[in-house]
Structure 1
C-alpha cells in the first residue's frame, strides 16, 4: 500500500550497514536493493556514498536527487536536481527540470516552481504525455497557490500537539472522543521480525492530553499493524485496520470491526471479502451517510480494481441487519491520483478527504464536499495555513466545528534526519474561530413596519435541540448572533399574534472577507381569509346550494369548517397560517371537487381565493332527487291515478308563484320574523324547487348513455302529498304525481327513452305514500290556507322522490 509505505519512511531511525570502505559497485547494488524494497532513506545514504567517488558524475547526482525526492527530503532533492539541470548538455535527463519544479513547489517556492514547469513544457511538451499533463496541472496550481498563501484563512489557529502525542516517529489518524484522543503511532518494534533493516509497526493509542498509552494487546496485536480507528456516532462499534508486511516494506491492510458494550471492545470481526478483496488493501475507515439514500455507510480507501486511479475512496452501505451491501466507488470525489483519509462530519453532512489529484499547494491537501440534494456538491480546498506545500492528511472535526485534528509532515514536525530535513508525520490541532455574525431585523409582513418585541432563536440544524442563542427585548428590532463557518443554521422567530417564521441558511460558501449576514424577517398575522367560489364545470355558471368544507390536514383534531350556502356560490373561511388545508365541495348531482391549499400557496397574502368546478355525477350522485309540486297538482280535484301532464309543465307555473307564496305566508308577520320567513321560502324556490327541476334534466342526460351502453336501469319513484285532503285522495294524488314524472321520462328528447321502457331496460317502480309520512306539525286545515298551502312545511310535502337506482347488465 503506497500511503502506509510512505508513512514508514519517516519511522526509520537506523543507518545502512555498509561502511565507507565498500566499493562503488557495492554502494550502487545496496542502493538498488533498498529502492526495490522502498527503503528510500537507505537508498539515499547509499547513493550519497556512491556520489563521493565522483562528485561530478551526473548519473549519481540524479540518483541522489531521486532518492531524496522519494524520501521527501525536498531541499536536498532540489539541490541535486538543480545540478543535473545545469550539468546536462543534451537533455540526458529531460525529467530533471520537471522534478526541480516539483521540489520547489513542495517547499512552497511557488514562483520558482511555476517558472521551471514553464521551462520544462517549453522544451519537452508532448514528449511524454503523463509528464506533460502533470506539468500543466502543477504549473497552474503553483500560480494559484501564490494567491492562496497570500490570503490565509485567519480563523484557523494551528498548534503542534507536542511530545505528549508526537514522537520522532509517525503519528496519524487522530480523533477526539469525549476529550480522549485516539490516534495511531508507528513507533513500535516487532522483536520477532528479523528483516534488515528493522521494520516498525503501528499501534493505536489514547491520550487524555497529558499521557498517551497504547490500547491493550487484545486490540493491538503484537507483530501486526493496528490502526485507523473510526467510531459510530452511537459509540457502539469501532472500525479499524489490521495490516501486515507482504514483501519488504509493502503492506496489505484489511478492515475489521469490534462491537462496543459498556465501554468494552468485543471480539474482532473481519469485514467480508466483498470489502477486503484479496490482494488489495482496504483501510482508513470512516462511518457516515450516503447522500443519495441518507443511510449509514462505511467509507474506506482501497486500491482495488474499478477505481479512478491510485488509492480511491469507496463506500459500502451498512444494512439494517448489520450486514454490508456492495461497495461502490465515490466517483465524484476520486481523481486519477491518490484520494485518501475520508472523514464524514455528521453535524454538517460534509465529507472531508485528502487528495494529490486536485489543485493544491503541494502533495496531499485537505478538501471537503457537501451533501447537496443527495449529491456531493462542489469540492472545496480548505486553504492555507491548514494546507501547505507539504502533506496534510487524516483531517477530523469536532461536532461543533470548532476544533480539528490532522496529520502533517510540515516543517514544524519532529525531524527524523536534521541534516536532510526529512520529517515525519505529526498530529496537529486547529482551533476554528467564529468570524461571522448574523444580524436579524423583524418587520410586520402586511404593513412592512418595524416589529419590535419578537423572540429570535438561533439553532444549529445538526442538532435542533441545541439552542445556540436566544434574543428578546420588548423594544428591539435588530439582534446580533456569532456564527461558525461551514455550519447549517435555522432562525426561529415568534411573536404573539403572528405566525412563527423559520428561515434556513448556511455558512458554507462564504467569501473569505464576508463577515456579516443580514436576515430581514417578516412576520404575518396568524390568520388570513379564504374565499371559495364554486361553479358548474360545464356551464361555468355559479353553483348554489353547495356544501363546502375546509379541513386542516396537519391537525385533524381541529374542528373542520363547513357550511352550505343556498344563496350564493361564494364561501368565506378564516384560516390559520402555517397549515395545509383540504377544501371539499359537494352538491347533489355532482361529483365532489377537492383542492389542496398549502402554506406556500398563500405565503405573502392576507386573502386568497380558490375556485372549484363541479362535474355532473353519475346517477346515484343525484339521490334522493326531489321534485316539488304546487298544491293539488297535477289535475286538481281528480281522482285518477293517471295524468297527461308531464312534470316540467307543472314546474313553470309553480315557480312563477314564488312571490305569491312569500306574500301570503308572511302577511301577518313583522320585522325580522317576516324577513326570515321570506328568506326561507325564497331559498326553497331557488335551491330546492328549481334545483330539483335542474337536477332532473341532468339526471336524464346521464341516464341515456347507460341505456345506450346496454345497461338495465331500475328506478324507484315515491309520491307524497300534504295533509290538506283526505288520506285516500292523497294516496291517489301521490300516484298522479309519480305518473307525471314518468310522462316526463317518456317524452324526454322526443321519446328517446320509450324504447327502453318498452323493452324492459328501463324499469319504473311506482309507490305512493300520500300524506301518511307528513310530520304532525304540518297543518292540513282547509280553512287555514296560509299554513296548509303556502307554508314551507306544507310545500315540502308535495313531492316525488327518486330514491333508488339500480344499474346492471
Structure 2
C-alpha cells in the first residue's frame, strides 16, 4: 500500500463532503460503501472511521447504523492491514445490540487479532465463528480453521524463539514507502528497490509513488539507476545478478489497478564499472500475468544455473507460485518449471537461492505462519525438494516477512518486513496500513557434522552406505539432506546450533543404524564441529505373516512387535509394525542376537514366536526367515462378588462349546481373570463355581457388536453371590411418599413391596421436576442429577439386593437352616408421629408380603413353619435427622421430593439376631 492512497483519500473525502454535509453520518457510510465496491479498502476504512467517530444523536435509526459502521470499518481496516484499528471497531461492534445482522464479524475479529499476534484471542474468535456460523462460506470456514491451527502452532513456536537481534537499516536505505529486495552487486555495490519516487506522469491526481531500483557504493550516497533501466512510467524492482556479475535480471511492472502490479522479467548486461546496458524483456513472461521477483542460483552438486521467480500464470498450484528455469552462460532462459513440492494453494514468493546450503529461501502464507507471509527454507537433495522449514521467531513475525538474502555463511542476512517496531518508517503515526522496511540480522552459524560408517561385526570401514540427516520438529522428523558414499565411509553435513537431529544409515544386506543428538546437550552445546560414528550389522530379513486361528485365513491389520531378548529373558521393544492392508510385516535382524515376535489384533488373542541368531554364521550372507502367527479371538472372563463388585479369586471356570468340546477349564487362585480364544457367533456354555457362593451357568454368544462395545476385545463379567444370606445384610429398600396405601391409618396392608416398587420408579421424572422447581438453572441441574443418583444407587440397587438376598435365602433354607430377619421401617417427618409409625409398620408388612409371594411362595412355607422368622420394628420419623422445614406440608419440594426426605422412606433389612445351620 503506497503513500498516494492517503492523499487520494483526502480528495475523495472532500468529494463527498458536499453530499454529506447535511447528513454526514449516512453520507460517509454511503461513500465508504462505494469505495468498498471498487476494492478501495483504504478509503473505505477512512470514511467508515469518520462515521464511527460521529456522536450518536439519540435516534433509533442512527443507533442501528452504528452497529453497521463499526462492522464495516473493522472489515475495511482488516483488508487494508490496519489490524489494530480493525480489532477496535469490531470489539465496539460486538457490544452493540444488532451484531446478529453480521454473521462474519467474529471471523474478521479473529483475523485482525491473528495478524497482531494475539493468538489466544484469535483462536477464541475463530472458534466462535465456526460454532455459530455452520452455514458460512466454505472458504472462510476453511480459512478460520487454518488460522486456528496457525495460531496454536505459533504459540508453540514462540516458546522456542531464537535469541536474535533484528536491526533496522535506518533512513539511509528505508523510506516512508516500501523498501525491499536488498541485493549485493559487483564492485561492493548494494542494490534495493523503493517506492519513494513520485510518478510525475501519472494520470491520477495527486501522482502516485512508483518503485525504482537504487544503488549504494561504499560511503557514496544512494542513487537511482539511470532511466534506461528505471523506465519513467514503470515500476522497476527486484535485482538478481548472475554468479559472475556479468548479467542482471529485474522486474518491470505496470499498475494493474491503481495499487496492484503486473510485472515482467527483464535482463541487462553489466559492465566492469557496474553499469547496466541493453535491457530487454525475457521470453518466459506471459501477457496479463505477474512474473517477477527474480533470483539466480547455482546447484552446487551439479553446477547448473537457474533463474528463480514468482508468477501467478495458469497451471500453477494456486496464488503466486515459485518457478525455476535453466540459465545458460549466454543468458538464455529455459522452460519454466513449477516447484510443486514447495508451492501451496496460496502465495509463494520472493525466492532466494543459497548455494552453500543448496537451499531455497522464500516467503509463503500457505503453510504454518505467525501471521501473513513467513520466510521458509527448502533444501534440494539430488532432484528432490525436502519439506520446507519455517525460520521461526524473531525472523518471522505476525506481519508480512519476505525477501530473505544471505550470500555467505559468515555474512549478515537481510529481509524486508512490515512488522510494527519503534524503528519502522511509515507515514502513519499508528504504524499501520503501509510498508516494508529492510532489516538485517546475524543468522545462526552452522556446525560441521562428520559421519563415519562401519561394519558392526568386523569394525571395518563400510562403504556404499546412504546416510540421511533429519531435523526433529514438533511435527516429526524433516529430512534436511541425504548422501550416498560409494567409495568411502565419510559424510559431511551442516547443522544448526540448538537443533535436534536424527541420522539414519542404510545399506542393502545390513541393518539400519539410527543416531540422535541434541545440540543443546551440555557435551555438544559449545562444539563447532561434531563427529558421529554409525555401525551397521549384516542383516537377516524376517517376514512375519498373521492368520486367523479359526479358519487359517490371512488376518490383515495385525500389530507385530519385535523384541530383543537378553540372556536373562528381559525384553526390549525395538520395532512395531501394523499393516492395515495385509497380513505381512517385515523386519531386519542383527546376527548374534535373540528375538521374540508377538502378534496381536484388537479382539484377538496374542501369538508369539522366537528367532535365535546367536549362532548364525555371519559369512553366509543375508538371508530371509519366515514366521507364521495364528491369532484367535480373545475372550476375557472376570469373576466378581455380586454384592461388593470386588474381584473374586479362587473361582473355577469351565468353558465348553455347544458341541461339547472343552475350550478351557481353570482355577485362578491369585486373580479373577481368565483368557480364552473363541469364535464369534458361536454358542458357549460357561460354568462358574466357588466355595461359599452359588454356582452359575451362562450361555454365551459373542457378536461383532460385542467387540465394538468392548473396545476391540470380548469381556464377560461373572457375578457370584454368597450362599449365606447374612452376607447380604444390612441393606435398604425405598418407598414413595405415604406408600403403601396413601392416607390410610392402619398398621396393615395387602400390597407387597413389588407392587409399590415399579410405580415408584415411574415417578422419577416427577421427582426431578418437583425437587428442582423454582431453582436457577445451575442449582436445578445439580438437584436433578442428585435425584437421578438416588433412584439409581438406592431405589434400583435396593431392589436388586432384595431379589439376590431372597434367592440366597431360599438356597440356605433348602439345606435345613433356620434364619431370623429383622425389618426396620422408617418414614419422613411430614405427617404426625403416630401416623408415621403406622406407615412404617405397613412398609414392614409389604416386605413380609413380598417374601410370601416370591418365586411362587417358596418362602411363605418357611415362614409358616417358623424356619424363617421375621421381627419387625416401626420407627416412623423418630430417627430422622432433618431440619424442621421438611415437616411442613406446604413445602412439598423439601418434605416430599427432596433426596433428604426420600432417604427416610425405607425399610432396613438387618443382620439376624440369631441363626442356626445344619
TM-score w.r.t. length of structure 2: 0.48
Provide the residue aligned with 1:40 in structure 2. Answer: 41
CA distance in structure 2 between the aligned counterparts of 1:506 and 1:94, rounded to whole angstroms: 51
CA distance in structure 1 between the aligned counterparts of 2:44 and 2:85, rounded to whole angstroms: 14
Larger Rg: 1
Provide the residue aligned with 2:400 in structure 1. Answer: 391
2:220 equivalent to 1:215: no
Instruction: Decide whether the 8 Å contact of 1:13 with 1:416 is kept in 2.
Output: no
Q: Taking structure 1 as reference, are residues 168 and 111 closer, same or farther at Cα in structure 2, changes over 3 Å only?
A: same
Structure 1 residue 318: Cα displacement: 2.5
Q: Taking structure 1 as reference, are residues 269 and 410 closer, same or farther at Cα in structure 2, changes over 3 Å only?
A: same
Structure 1 residue 78: Cα displacement: 0.5
Alpha-carbon deviations, 1:275-334, whole Å to 9, x = none?
Answer: 211111111111135799863222211111111222111222234664333223211111
Q: Kindly indicate whether structure 1 or structure 2 has the higher relative contact order, using CA contacts under 8 Å at least 6 residues apart.
A: 1
CA distance in structure 1 between the aligned counterparts of 2:223 and 2:385, rounded to whole angstroms: 38
Structure 1 residue 114: Cα displacement: 1.3
Q: Taking structure 1 as reference, are residues 507 and 26 closer, same or farther at Cα in structure 2, changes over 3 Å only?
A: same
* SS of residue in 2 equivalent to 1:45: helix
Instruction: Decide whether the 8 Å contact of 1:291 with 1:376 is kept in 2.
Output: no
CA distance in structure 2 between the aligned counterparts of 1:248 and 1:129, rounded to whole angstroms: 30
Instruction: Decide whether the 8 Å contact of 2:381 with 2:482 is kept in 1.
Output: no
Instruction: Decide whether the 8 Å contact of 1:489 with 1:505 is kept in 2.
Output: no
Aligned with residue 119 of structure 1, among 112, 128, 141: 128
Provide the residue aligned with 1:97 in structure 2. Answer: 106
Aligned with residue 437 of structure 2, among 407, 414, 426: 426
Q: Taking structure 1 as reference, are residues 285 and 11 closer, same or farther at Cα in structure 2, changes over 3 Å only?
A: farther
Aligned residues: 479
* SS of residue in 2 equivalent to 1:102: helix
Instruction: Decide whether the 8 Å contact of 1:402 with 1:433 is kept in 2.
Output: no
Q: Taking structure 1 as reference, are residues 119 and 26 closer, same or farther at Cα in structure 2, changes over 3 Å only?
A: closer
Structure 1 residue 427: Cα displacement: 0.1
CA distance in structure 2 between the aligned counterparts of 1:346 and 1:191, rounded to whole angstroms: 41
* Long gaps (5+) in structure 1: 1-6, 450-485, 493-498, 524-607, 611-809
2:115 equivalent to 1:106: yes
Q: Taking structure 1 as reference, are residues 233 and 415 closer, same or farther at Cα in structure 2, changes over 3 Å only?
A: same
CA distance in structure 1 between the aligned counterparts of 2:262 and 2:454, rounded to whole angstroms: 63
CA distance in structure 2 between the aligned counterparts of 1:209 and 1:87, rounded to whole angstroms: 59
CA distance in structure 1 between the aligned counterparts of 2:441 and 2:78, rounded to whole angstroms: 29
CA distance in structure 2 between the aligned counterparts of 1:110 and 1:124, rounded to whole angstroms: 21
Structure 1 residue 241: Cα displacement: 0.8
2:318 equivalent to 1:309: yes
Provide the residue aligned with 1:31 in structure 2. Answer: 32
Structure 1 residue 400: Cα displacement: 2.0
Structure 1 residue 425: Cα displacement: 0.9
* SS of residue in 1 equivalent to 2:101: coil
Structure 1 residue 404: Cα displacement: 1.0
2:176 equivalent to 1:173: no
CA distance in structure 2 between the aligned counterparts of 1:291 and 1:444, rounded to whole angstroms: 31
Q: Taking structure 1 as reference, are residues 158 and 487 closer, same or farther at Cα in structure 2, changes over 3 Å only?
A: farther
Q: Taking structure 1 as reference, are residues 126 and 522 closer, same or farther at Cα in structure 2, changes over 3 Å only?
A: closer
Aligned with residue 269 of structure 2, among 231, 253, 259: 259
Instruction: Decide whether the 8 Å contact of 2:451 with 2:531 is kept in 1.
Output: yes
Q: Taking structure 1 as reference, are residues 444 and 116 closer, same or farther at Cα in structure 2, changes over 3 Å only?
A: closer
Alpha-carbon deviations, 1:194-214, whole Å to 9, x = none?
Answer: 303431101111224653221
Structure 1 residue 135: Cα displacement: 1.1
**Deviation larger for 110-119 or 56-65:** 56-65
Aligned with residue 491 of structure 2, among 498, 503, 513: 503
CA distance in structure 1 between the aligned counterparts of 2:121 and 2:184, rounded to whole angstroms: 39
CA distance in structure 2 between the aligned counterparts of 1:198 and 1:228, rounded to whole angstroms: 23
Provide the residue aligned with 2:67 in structure 1. Answer: 58
Q: 1:375-414, aligned counterparts within 5 Å?
A: 375-400=384-409, 402-412=411-421, 413-414=424-425
CA distance in structure 2 between the aligned counterparts of 1:106 and 1:71, rounded to whole angstroms: 12
CA distance in structure 1 between the aligned counterparts of 2:458 and 2:326, rounded to whole angstroms: 52
Instruction: Decide whether the 8 Å contact of 2:412 with 2:443 is kept in 1.
Output: yes
* SS of residue in 2 equivalent to 1:417: coil
2:176 equivalent to 1:163: no
Aligned with residue 228 of structure 1, among 231, 235, 238: 238
CA distance in structure 2 between the aligned counterparts of 1:92 and 1:292, rounded to whole angstroms: 60
Instruction: Decide whether the 8 Å contact of 1:11 with 1:416 is kept in 2.
Output: no
Q: Taking structure 1 as reference, are residues 185 and 116 closer, same or farther at Cα in structure 2, changes over 3 Å only?
A: same
Provide the residue aligned with 1:669 in structure 2. Answer: none
Structure 1 residue 503: Cα displacement: 3.2
CA distance in structure 2 between the aligned counterparts of 1:160 and 1:85, rounded to whole angstroms: 37
Q: Taking structure 1 as reference, are residues 224 and 70 closer, same or farther at Cα in structure 2, changes over 3 Å only?
A: same
CA distance in structure 1 between the aligned counterparts of 2:410 and 2:38, rounded to whole angstroms: 41
Provide the residue aligned with 2:94 in structure 1. Answer: 85
Aligned with residue 287 of structure 2, among 278, 287, 307: 278
Alpha-carbon deviations, 1:516-547, whole Å to 9, x = none?
Answer: 36415799xxxxxxxxxxxxxxxxxxxxxxxx
Q: RMSD of aligned C-alpha atoms? A: 3.9
Structure 1 residue 90: Cα displacement: 6.1
Structure 1 residue 88: Cα displacement: 5.3
* Long gaps (5+) in structure 2: 57-62, 461-478, 502-517, 536-618, 622-918
TM-score w.r.t. length of structure 1: 0.54
Provide the residue aligned with 1:417 in structure 2. Answer: 428
**Deviation larger for 105-114 or 42-51:** 42-51
Aligned with residue 519 of structure 1, among 531, 534, 539: 531
* SS of residue in 2 equivalent to 1:146: helix
Q: Taking structure 1 as reference, are residues 500 and 367 closer, same or farther at Cα in structure 2, changes over 3 Å only?
A: closer
